[in-house]
Structure 1
C-alpha cells in the first residue's frame, strides 16, 4: 500500500506518563527498516523539527513510515499535546487525539498521505493473543492476592519481581499499597535510544521475555469461548474507606 497510497501510519497507544506500551511496539521491528520506525514516548518532549526530519528520512530510506505515539506525548512546554481539558476521578488529564494531531502535522508539513488508528480498549481486552508469559503472570498475581486475603494480609498487593533476564526468572512479592496507589513507573533513561525515537538493547532485553509463548483460549464457532460467569451479587461487607 505504501508504494501507491498511504505513506505514513500512526498508531496511538495507551500511556499517559509512562511509555511501556509504546516501547513494546518496537519489538515488532526485528530487522533494520521494519516498523515501527519511530516511537513518540511520554518521557521524551516532542520536538517538531527533529520529528519531521526523522519522518522524512524514514520515507526516503524505506518508502514508508510507521509511528507509535503514546497518548501522553508532551510538547516542549511539558504539557500534553492531546489534553482535552477534562479530568478523571484521580485528577488526571483526559487524553485522546495524539494520533490525528501527529497525522495532521505530517500532512501539513510534509504533504504525505497519512492514516491513523486508535486500538483503545483492545489493548486491554485482547486475551486471545496474550502471551503465555503474560498469562502465567496474571494467574500468579491473582492466586497470590487470594492467598494474601485468606492469610489476613491487608494494605498490600502482589507484585512481580524479576530475578534474571536470561533465562527469564521471576517470583511474587508483597508490595505495600501506599507505595503503589496512584504511582507510575516510567521508562528508565537507559531504555530510551539516544535520539529519543526508539528503545535500546537494554529495553529489548527487558521487554522480550514478556511476549514469549502462545496461549490461545479455546474457540467455538470461530470465536474465543470464554467462561460465562453467573455474576450473582453478594452483600457488601467492606468499608468504603481504608487506612493505609
Structure 2
C-alpha cells in the first residue's frame, strides 16, 4: 500500500505545470496566471540578476495609486525576455556591479484604460495624450508583452541620475531633445552619459529607443507585436 501511495505521488509530481514550476512554485495571482497562460514568462525566472520594481503596482507613479492590483511581477514574451537577459549581461560586462531595474513590462489592456483616463485628470490636451500613453483601443507594446520600462542601478543599488523621474511628462525626458536640454543647462553631461549606459546595453541587445521616454524600449514594432501575439486583457 505504501508503495502504491509513493508511486501515485511521483506520478502527480510529474504533471506539475511547467509555468508554475518555472516560477519556483510561488503563489501566482489570477491576473498573473492569465498572463502565463498566454505564454509570457517572468523576467526573473529567465535572469534572476534583473531587479524589478513595478511602479504601477505601487503609489509611486503619475496616478499616485496602485493600478496593477494583483500584478506584482514583470512578464515579457519569451524572446523579449531573452533579449533583456542579454542586455543585462552586456551591462554587467561594461559596468561590473551595475544592474537593470525594471519599472514596467507586460501590461493588461484594462490597466491601459486607467492610464489613458488619468491623463484627463492631469489636463493633458487630447491631441497630446498619445504622446504619453497609447490609445487603449489600439494598444501599447506593453499590452503585447513586447516593451520594457527600466533604468540602471549602481553597485549600491541606487538608480543612476537620468535627469528626470520615471514617467516624467515633457521634453526633459525625451532622448531626441537631450542635446537641446544640455545647451539650455536643463540636463548635464553626466545625466546623458547615464542614459547612454542604459541605451547602449538595450540597443546592442536588439531593442529600439523610444524618442520621448528615456526609460522605454521596444522589442519589436507594434505592428509586428500585434501580428505575432494576442493582446493581454
More helix by share: 2
Normalised by the size of structure 2, how large is the TM-score? 0.20
**Bigger-Rg structure (1/2):** 1
Normalised by the size of structure 1, how large is the TM-score? 0.19
More strand by share: 1
